[in-house]
Amino acid sequence: MYRTHTCGELRKSDVGQPVTLAGWVDSYRDHGGGLFVDLRDRYGKTQVVFSSDSGAEVQQLSRGLRNEDVIQVVGKVDPRPDGTVNPKLVTGEIEIKVEKLTILNKCKTPPFFPSQMDLPGEDLRLKHRYLDLRRQQMQQTMILRSKIIKLMRDFFEEHDFIDVETPILGRSTPEGARDYLVPSRVHHGEFYALPQSPQLYKQILMMAGYDRYVQVARCFRDEDLRADRQPEFTQLDMEMAFCEMDDIIGIIDGLVANVAKEVLDIEISGPLPRMTYDEAMERFGHDAPDLRFGLEIVDATDLAAKAEFRVFKAVADAGNRVRGICAKGAADKYSRRLIDDMTSMVQDDFGAKGLAWFKVEADGTLNSPIAKNFTPELLAEFKERFAAEPGDFILIVADKFEVTCKALYGLRKKLGAELKLYDPEKMHFSWIVEFPMFDYDEEEGRWVAMHHPFTAPRPQDVALLDSDPGKCRALAYDLVINGSEAGGGTIRIHDGATQQKVFGLLGMSEEDAKNRFGFLLDALQYGAPPHGGIALGIDRWVMLFGHLDNIRDCIAFPKTQRAADLMTDAPSEVDRKQLEELAIKVLRLDEVKK
């Protein structure tokens, strides 16, 4: 065998025992009388010692060892001499006196070392991911991921859910993001699509009588990427039949409490707090608010309408909104230069026309370049509205409601981090409910689904599908953890007439709907039960529970923001013969544009 123990296993109680270890050279130190090597595997590190007792041949061989060489050592467990115990290692009370050394594989000088403190750029890490994955933090994250997935699977098994795999090669049913397409060799000119989610399959399973389904599912979306998105990702997919929204939320409340206890040893008492979509947008400007801190949005549109300040008054008179936030005690922390930077941010990133601000002086007066446009009485009303006190900093955006939401959400997020308004180790879980069914696409002149086209309306809003779709609220719910959407689900439409009506509102003719979703419409006519579900983003759960900032650090082999795998150099060109078998001709980009 290559090893009798791992590098994190031996203790003082093992002194005198003959052992065989194998692993990577993490570090080596030549102290003249002997060579000391920290031998590493994913379980830990053990110090191994090459001394005169090891014999001349072993000593000579050991002098050629370098970091990341893969070796096997045979020896005896000894206690470390007095004064040399390393309390930072669980194996720090012992060492291995080496009697035999076998070099299993030499490592050429790597572009970076897994043990180094200062990490290289992400591109270099992804190019040599096999080195990056040796880092202790990366290994701990992968172990955390494995633990979370096991906890999820165990939890759902205890609640009578059946794990069912759904196809990877399916039909293209565009629902927002672009599909990844796979050409068929057998059916020339036809394509499979990789699943954006198992949405339709799991609904079919409900209609087939499998009333509790769960799956750890791989999903694929060809969309623009950012720090918390990947073109291929993993979700915990769940569906239930004969259920209402509260049933699904209750199950997930239990899952959250279980994972929080087992992973972070924190007690979460249910039910988790809920907030409607409208309330979240009014108070925080976003449908996934970070509730670890306050800094809530305050509406001052009615006060702005009374001001002589032309910008505020024009916005209020046009039926738009004047809203802001008040950062307690932050007036002295933001210079004019920093305020100018924030102004550029709301203009460039969120499309706002500008940023107004007030600082509350020690005597209680509001100081700002625009203060001269307000009467003392109106300034006092603004101060009262924002509950502002000396030393506070008020930031105001005047624009369309959607723009004020985006800008103030961005400012709130920025100030929350810069002013350290929350403990980054703290976890907050909540639900956002009662989302709009539809959003109106001005460019295309039609309604689009806020979640997906299979979402059921609230029973009391069904009539609005005919009279006023924009006011229709959905049986939709998102799980929010620390200001990130960690899962989203809906109760599904389970009757064909309502489903066809929703397709029509989305601009789909009966023929188009039949062509794209005929199998679903057919299944709805053969005894479909009420059903609903949710998808939890496993990659994002690992990121949040691991207190990480980048989702790529939670995935063994991630893609870059340009959807490339730097290690394998994918995507890549393929042999002409493969293309010919598929009857595919690759055009240059300029040829496509013509």
- Enumerate the known binding-site residues: 175, 221-223, 230, 451, 485, 492, 537-540
* Backbone φ and ψ of 430, nearest 5°: -155, 170
What is the end-to-end Cα distance of the chain in Å, rounded?
Answer: 64
Q: Measuring CA to CA, which residue among 38, 41, 86 is closest to residue 65?
A: 38
**What kind and span of H or E run contains 212?**
strand 212-220
Please report the DSSP string for 505-567 in residue order. HTT--HHHHHHHHHHHHHHHTTTPPPEEEEEEEHHHHHHHHTT-S-GGGGSSS---TTS-BTT
Spatial CA neighbour of 309 closest among 364, 356, 346: 356
Q: Tell the residue number behind the tokens 């993001």, with chain if given.
A: 177
Distances (CA, A) of 202 to 212, 385, 519: 10, 49, 13
What is the DSSP secondary structure assignment for residue 72, as one 8-state letter?
A: E
What one-character-per-residue DSSP string does 303-368 give? HHTT-S-HHHHHHHHTT-EEEEEEETT-GGG--HHHHHHHHHHHHHHH--S--EEEEE-TTS-EE-
Residues annotated within the binding site for ATP are 221-223, 230, 485, 537-540
CA 408 to chain centre: 22
φ/ψ (deg, to 5) at 44: 150, -160
- The separation between CA 120 and the C-alpha centre of its own chain, rounded to angstroms, equals 23
* Measured CA angle at 119 (ends 118, 125), to 5 deg: 165
Q: What is the DSSP string of 463-511?
A: THHHH-GGG-BBSEEEEEETTEEEEEEEEBP-SHHHHHHHHHHTT--HH
Known binding-site residues for L-aspartate equal 175, 221, 451, 492
